Amino acid sequence: MEIMKFKKSILVTLLLGFLVFGAFYPGVNFKEREGMILHAVMNFLDQAHFMPKSVDDGFSETVYTKYLKYVDGSKRFLTQNDIDQLSKHKLLIDDQTNARTFEFFEESLVLLDKGISKAEKIYNELITSDFDFDRKENFEVDNDKKSYSKNDEELKDYWRKIIKYEILGRIYDKTKSQEELEEGETPLTKEEIVEKSIEGAKKSYDRWFKEVNKLRRSDRFEAYLNSIMHNYDPHSDYFNPKEKQDFDINMGGKLEGIGARLRAEGDYIKIVEIIPGGPAWEGKKLEVNDLIYKVTQKNGEPLDITGMRIDDVIQKIRGKKGTVVILTVKKENGEMEDIEITRDIVNIEETFAKSLILDKSDLIEDVGYIKLPKFYSSFEKKDGNSCAADVKKEIEKLKAEGAEKIILDLRFNGGGSLRDVVDMTGLFIESGPIVQVKSREKEPYVYTDKDPKVRFNGPLLVMVNNFSASASEILAAALQDYDRAVIVGSNSTFGKGTVQRFFDLDDAIRGAGELKPLGQVKMTMQKFFRIDGGSTQLKGVTPDIILPDVYSFLDRGEKEYDDAMEWTKIEALENYEQDVYRISNMKQLIANSKKRVEANPEFNLILENATRFKERRESTSYPLDQMTFSSLMEEREKEAERFDDIMETDIIGLSISTLKADKDNFYADEASTEKHEDWISAIQKDIYIDECLHILAEMN
């Protein structure tokens, strides 16, 4: 009841503000839909955002920079002369926003249209010219390190390098493919390889310009609005009516696709979530933060998607079950990789909690292992059960088979239901506070487990990584604050400690029916705080025991965003101590784990790979002469081969048992059996789980 009152008070406050807004612009006085949308967006931000900002010169400068990055992040269209022309608006966008005018936006549209036409003319001239593949020069692929071309002549030379870089990549790939010809196939000559590579690049860029020319004024306007909203935080967005329908772009469920959520990130499309149970999740190669550069239909030509509309890219990635799409992505270490994915329907059951019994000879027996890919809620299951109820069942099944210690694996769990994370944490403690949620200018509300029963009171270990977010962080933080579990994983969890809510802009405007629908905004309204008062925002949860991974030397998660909300602290709660199992030898556990990891060749190899990732991310300049380019690609491929066998060897002495209660379900048919055996096979090679077993063995 208290929670309902809390939510209602927020809604009443918002509605009061919007009634005033409706009175200020009665009826259908809006002559321009864009002005109406901007006014509604700014009012929502001012009245409801968790941390509203002053619309001043700082606001103006940030919006200016973000917008230019969104519409021409790769600097293919605008020159420094164009930027100089636009720069007079750099400190005036705040005034224009307050006046609900669009001088900067309007002038940018004219220059962008001219820039696209100019770039297409340059391209058509260059693609039929001769390329000197022996010329020693370099090409910078990191857009943030590039400068705008000073003039049209420099822009032409920049485009020459773009096209040459594309052709060299194709030459290298086609040359490598000659090594894999079937018996009887005639190899291509060097001249034919070059000719076909140029031809392929031309087809790709012809299609690309066709797609770029589809960009509408509304696409640019949405980029402008999101430049404003992302000035507040990275999770507040504007969605046009169609984008709202596609918000849960999981390319699964009723849609046949790859199972990933996408987001426009400047000129590129970014993977922001891998949907558990989907083809991308099962393939394990596509990762969060991968940037999509090209989309290729199996046996078709690659399509460069730089600067394309996100809904057009989505349509090219989606497809019928059983068909294959190839995504060319840029990894966080800067390397490009082609990832082949067979489209399918997302298997929702793969998100549900499931468990096993683990034994390690001469070390530990009867360890319960629970995997939870997502904090799903009751409406996502046919029988109405929630993930908290399901984990409770798994605990009971594990105890029935003799488990006295449990591993709860929350790696790659992006969160979900707040109610369920509160209930689930309560399975391991007596009744008590779990998390504090604070709205703007309100006292924090404390979410509490009210069930005094402890469903499992033995040694508990929670596995997390950089992709463990939101609800995963709430559970890990609470159990850490209670000294109830050892948290093991990457250097930190994701760090998303904020709550968003959708608002329909139509509700903010009375009348003007002919201009609706206006779209929706997703806005950050609340922030999570631990029971010790610290936020999970930005910093995430730092595990008690940190294990190396390939991202050890890279900033991950919320820390990557320049516009992320800051970490803050509120008052800690009092009297949250419990009469439950507590970690008594944490220092010894940490010290012993550190010694084992340092002596483990596979963990050392992972650290070497992490160093390589960091070096690759910083090395963003490529040679544009064929010999040096090919040598560099060959060298990098051979270097990467050293790390191909990580977690490919079965762990000695580890045995994995399916619970008796689950055998009929997991072995119900051939498909179920195959999936279950694949899961067991992956665990059999997982050195992180192996180290967790050693840690559990030392927990008293």
Count of positions (residues) in the chain: 700
- CA atoms of 647 and 644, how far apart (whole Å): 9
Please state which architecture CATH assigns to domain 251-345.
Roll (2.30)
pLDDT band at 19 (very low <50, low <70, confident <90, very high): very low
pLDDT band at 244 (very low <50, low <70, confident <90, very high): low
pLDDT band at 16 (very low <50, low <70, confident <90, very high): very low
- 125-154: per-residue pLDDT in tens? 999 999 999 999 999 999 999 999 999 999
SS (HEC) of 478-507: HHHHCCCCEEEECCCCCCCCEEEEEEEHHH
User: What is the pLDDT at residue 687?
Assistant: 98
User: What is the pLDDT at residue 246?
Assistant: 54
User: What is the pLDDT at residue 245?
Assistant: 53
Pairing status of strand 291-297 against strand 344-345: unpaired
Of all residues in the chain, the percent with pLDDT exceeding 90 is: 71
What does pLDDT average to over the chain?
Answer: 89
- CA atoms of 265 and 246, how far apart (whole Å): 17
Phi, psi of 74 (to 5 degrees): -90, 0
- 370-411: per-residue pLDDT in tens? 999 999 887 656 666 789 999 999 999 999 999 999 999 999
Q: What value does the mean pLDDT take over residues 504-524?
A: 85
* Type of residue found at 315: Q
- 641-691: per-residue pLDDT in tens? 999 999 999 999 999 999 999 999 999 999 889 989 999 999 999 999 999
**For residue 15, pLDDT beyond 50:** no
**For residue 27, pLDDT beyond 60:** no
User: What is the pLDDT at residue 600?
Assistant: 97
- 62-102: per-residue pLDDT in tens? 999 999 999 999 999 999 999 999 999 999 999 999 999 99
Task: Give the list of residues 6+ apart from residue 622 with CB closer than 8 angstroms, or none.
Answer: 138, 139, 140, 141, 165, 629, 632
Question: What's the CA angle centered on 274, arms 272 and 277, to 5 degrees?
Answer: 160
Domain borders along the chain are: 53-219, 251-345, 350-499+518-602+648-697
Instruction: Specify the range with the lowest mean pLDDT, choosing from 10-24, 34-48, 683-697.
Output: 10-24
**For residue 7, pLDDT beyond 60:** no
Say if residue 568 is exposed, middle or buried (CB neighbours under 10 Å; 0-12, 13-18, 19+).
middle
- CA atoms of 479 and 647, how far apart (whole Å): 29
pLDDT band at 252 (very low <50, low <70, confident <90, very high): very low
- 463-498: per-residue pLDDT in tens? 999 999 999 999 999 999 999 999 999 999 999 999
Distances 125 to 129, 156, 255 between C-alpha atoms, Å = 7, 10, 41
Q: Which CATH number fits domain 350-499+518-602+648-697: 2.40.50.40, 2.50.20.10, 3.90.226.10, 3.40.50.970?
A: 3.90.226.10
pLDDT band at 250 (very low <50, low <70, confident <90, very high): very low
User: What is the pLDDT at residue 379?
Assistant: 65
SS (HEC) of 539-576: CCCCCCEECCCCCCCCCCHHHHCCCCCCCCECCCCCCC
Of 486, 495, 610, nearest to 548 by C-alpha is 610
In the numeric block, which tokens belong to residue 56? 């001043």
Highest mean pLDDT: which range of 2-16, 290-304, 623-637? 623-637
User: What is the pLDDT at residue 546?
Assistant: 98
